[in-house]
């Protein structure tokens, strides 16, 4: 079905196909968002008329290209990546996609680069998609950098249903469960989560609006 939608609903996209191909050839893990999910990110950036976006977890730049494409020409995306080699691959892919002027890749563990982002805040939209063990900490930073109206998207919050296991000792599962606890308890955030099926399996994303 993902292939059907990609072929029949989305027009052929050389920049994204190329980014996916180059990333796999460079040995990066094949865990970027799917093409329909990527289009969802582009549309969301456009729908909220975001001018500044923060992403945590760049990988080869696939979702970064999708986010940056939704921005106006003078908009900006800051994307955080721990692995210098992945960031190099992403730089090439993002530049070839023609959105390089809008994208700033900051290399290093996000918990080190987030505290020095203050001057770039607030962000209109934040996409959390890095190491899931730190999802609660990333959620706190996203709120720190938000204003009323900021949209948060958190990827991979279902993971085949494993997130629903209260006895899990997987750090990624526990990190996402902790993120949900914070999200549910925070009076400044209205949130939901949607489950997805796609070429890469059963997963989902959380969507939140900062209200205060
Ligand atoms: N958003 C990408 C996929 C990201 S995969 C897309 O859909 O195209 C998760 C990424 O988070 C990987 O590239 C991984 O290296 C990075 N990552 C893992 N731990 C991190 C950390 N502590 N800080 C920043 N990035 C991290
Ligand atoms: C996986 C998928 C992702 O989208 C991600 O950000 C991290 C890991 C995975 O399938 O392992
Ligand atoms: Mg993801």
C-alpha 56 to ligand 3 mean position (Å): 10
65 with 97: CB under 8 angstroms? yes
pLDDT at residue 199 in the model? 85
pLDDT at residue 200 in the model? 85
Indicate if the pLDDT at residue 196 is higher than 90.
Answer: yes
Indicate if the pLDDT at residue 36 is higher than 90.
Answer: yes
CATH code, domain carrying 66: 3.40.50.150
What DSSP designation does 145 have? T
Half-sphere exposure of residue 73: CA atoms within 13 angstroms, side-chain side? 1
Tokens of 108: 């290093």
Cα 130 from Cα 104, distance rounded (Å): 17
Ligand nearest the Cα of residue 201 is: 2
Indicate if the pLDDT at residue 146 is higher than 90.
Answer: yes
Is 65 a pocket residue for ligand 1 (Cβ < 6 Å)? no
Full residue range of the structural domain in which residue 179 is found: 2-210
How far CA 129 is from CA of 8, 30, 136, 205, in Å, comes to 27, 14, 12, 10
Neighbouring residues of 96: CB distance < 8 A, sequence distance ≥ 6: 15, 18, 19
Domain tally, the chain? 1
Rounded (10°) CA dihedral 27, 31, 32, 34: 130
194-208 burial, b for 16+ CB within 10 Å, e for fewer?
eebebeeeebbbbbb
Q: Rounded mean pLDDT of 194-210? A: 95
Look at ligand 1, atom 19, and give the residue with the nearest C-alpha: 131
Tell me the per-residue pLDDT of 47-92, one tens digit each, with 9 for 90 and over: 999 999 999 999 999 999 999 999 999 999 999 999 999 999 999 9
60 with 103: CB under 8 angstroms? no
Indicate if the pLDDT at residue 99 is higher than 90.
Answer: yes
Look at ligand 2, atom 1, and give the residue with the nearest C-alpha: 31
Is 203 a pocket residue for ligand 2 (Cβ < 6 Å)? no
Residue 43 φ then ψ, to 5°: -65, -40
C-alpha 144 to ligand 2 mean position (Å): 25
In the chain, what percentage of residues exceed pLDDT 70? Answer: 100
- In whole numbers, what is the pLDDT of the chain averaged over residues? 97
Q: Is 17 helix (H, G, I), strand (E, B) or coil?
A: helix
Band (pLDDT 50/70/90 cuts) for residue 118 is confident
Report field, pTM of the whole predicted structure over 0.85: yes
How far from each other are the two terminal CA atoms of the chain, in whole angstroms? Answer: 39
Is 155 a pocket residue for ligand 2 (Cβ < 6 Å)? yes
Pick from 97, 131, 153 the residue to mutate for probing ligand 1's pocket: most ligand atoms within 8 Å of its CB.
Answer: 131
C-alpha 202 to ligand 1 mean position (Å): 19
The residue assigned the tokens 């809008």 is: 102
């Amino acid at each position: 079905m993902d292939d059907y939608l990609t072929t029949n609903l989305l027009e052929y996209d050389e920049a994204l196909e190329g980014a996916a191909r180059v990333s796999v050839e460079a040995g990066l893990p094949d865990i970027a968002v799917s093409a329909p999910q990527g289009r969802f990110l582009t549309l969301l950036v456009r729908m909220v008329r975001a001018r500044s976006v923060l992403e945590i977890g760049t990988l080869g730049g696939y979702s970064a290209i999708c986010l940056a494409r939704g921005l106006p020409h003078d908009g900006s995306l800051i994307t955080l990546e721990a692995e210098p080699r992945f960031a190099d691959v992403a730089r090439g892919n993002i530049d070839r996609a023609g959105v390089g002027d809008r994208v700033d890749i900051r290399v290093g563990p996000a918990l080190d680069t987030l505290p020095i982002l203050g001057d770039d805040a607030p962000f209109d939209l934040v996409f959390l998609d890095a190491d899931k063990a730190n999802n609660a900490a990333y959620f706190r930073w996203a709120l720190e950098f938000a204003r009323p109206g900021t949209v948060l998207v958190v990827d991979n919050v279902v993971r085949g249903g494993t997130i629903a296991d209260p006895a899990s000792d997987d750090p990624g599962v526990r990190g996402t469960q902790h993120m949900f606890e914070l999200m549910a308890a925070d009076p400044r955030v209205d949130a939901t989560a949607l489950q997805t099926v796609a070429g890469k399996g059963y997963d989902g994303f959380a969507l939140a609006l900062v209200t205060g």
